[in-house]
Amino acid sequence: IVVWLLQARGRSKSTLHRMTGQAVEQKHELAEQELTEVKDEIQRMKEDSEQTLQNLEAVIEEADIWGADVKKAIRDFEKDISTISSKRWRDPASDSLLGYMEEKNCQRDLLREKLCSKNCLLRGYKKKLQQQLLQKEQLGETIREVHLQQLQVRNALHQEEMAKKNQELMQLKVTSGKIVQVFNFYQRRLQDTMETSTSLMKNISQRKELLEKIEREAALVEEQRAKAEIFNQQLQMQLSDYRVPSVLTYVQKKMAVADLEKSLKAWERKVAVAQMSLQSCRRAWNKIKMSGNQH
């Protein structure tokens, strides 16, 4: 029994060491399975002991019946011998019979003593088995109480661990919620930035087209201005070589000069407007590039 308990305790310790790295539910199931195995083992030992006791009781009962039969036969035989001994006469045959019967009587006495000794031994063995069975039952109750206490302690530890895990889970859920909120915020911000970037790219494209158009117009105005200057120089040269024309020619030339001066002033105004528009577009372009670099 002690060896079995030590082995069971060793198995229990090894099982507990294996249970350390497992989940709470698996630990609880293994503990219940181990307790069930211990209970089954105690029940099997109890059944075996009861069967042994029944066999011993049957042997003792048979020995008691046999001893009673022997005692009855001895009493009958002694009664017959006393009857024969009370007679006056004897013969050799009766003496031989008496000797034979006395020998058988001695053998029966020895057998009776042997059976009595065996009966005493069997009764002592029965008492010993009953004590062992009682000890096993008490030991089983003790083991069950110990296992129950261990299970209660483990259950309390597991409940505490589960509470900690639940608290950690709640904290993780709260953290996850905050992370989701931050993610949604930055996602909306990214979407707004993408929309702003798309709008800026569209605006930049429009400004580029406008700048190209202004540059083309500025180039055209510059070309026309250059032509006007050349024409003006030619007019200046003509004026330097001027001779008094006729009145009609003078009037015509004067009108042509006035028209040319008006055209020159108009073109100068166009060039000034184009230059101002070009500078404004360049400033807008620089601002767009700076804002694009910041994003």
Give the span between the Cα atoms of 217 and 267, in whole angstroms. 12
R_g of the chain computed on alpha carbons: 65
More confident of the two residues 87 and 45:
45
Q: What is the 3-state secondary structure (H, E, C) of the chain?
A: CHHHHHHHHHHHHHHHHHHCCCCHHHHHHHHHHHHHHHHHHHHHHHHHHHHHHHHHHHHHHHHHHHHHHHHHHHHHHHHHHHHHHCCCCCCHHHHHHHHHHHHHHHHHHHHHHHHHHHHHHHHHHHHHHHHHHHHHHHHHHHHHHHHHHHHHHHHHHHHHHHHHHHHHHHHHHHHHHHHHHHHHHHHHHHHHHHHHHHHHHHHHHHHHHHHHHHHHHHHHHHHHHHHHHHHHHHHHHHHHCCCCCCHHHHHHHHHHHHHHHHHHHHHHHHHHHHHHHHHHHHHHHHHHHHHHHHC
What is the mean predicted confidence (pLDDT) over 102-116?
Answer: 74
Burial-class residue 27 by CB neighbours within 10 Å (0-12, 13-18, 19+). Answer: buried
pTM (whole model) above 0.75:
no
Q: Which residues of 136-147 are buried (b: 16+ CB within 10 A; e: fewer)?
A: beebbeebeeeb
Mean pLDDT over 118-128 rounds to: 77
Contact 141, 42 (CB under 8 A): no
pLDDT at 222: 83
Give the pLDDT confidence score for residue 101 in this predicted structure: 65
**Topology at the third CATH level for domain 2-176:** Helix Hairpins (1.10.287)
Dihedral angle over CA of 199, 200, 203, 209, nearest 10 = -130
Average pLDDT, rounded, for the chain? 73
> What is the per-residue pLDDT across 132-148, written as a single tens digit (0 to 9) for each?
777 767 776 676 677 67
Percent of the chain residues past pLDDT 90, beyond the cut: 0
CA dihedral in degrees (109, 113, 114, 120; nearest 10)? 160
Nearest to residue 242, comparing CAs of 230, 231, 256, 253? Answer: 253
Q: Is the dihedral of CA 219, 221, 224, 228 positive or negative?
A: negative
Tokens representing residue 62 in the block: 């048979």
Residue with tokens 């105690």: 42
Q: Is residue 12 classed exposed, middle or buried when 0-12, 13-18 and 19+ CB atoms within 10 A define those classes?
A: buried
Tokens, residue 272: 């000034």
Q: What is the pLDDT of residues 173-227, one digit of tens each?
A: 888 888 888 888 888 888 888 888 888 888 888 888 888 888 888 788 888 888 8
- What type of residue sits at position 25? E
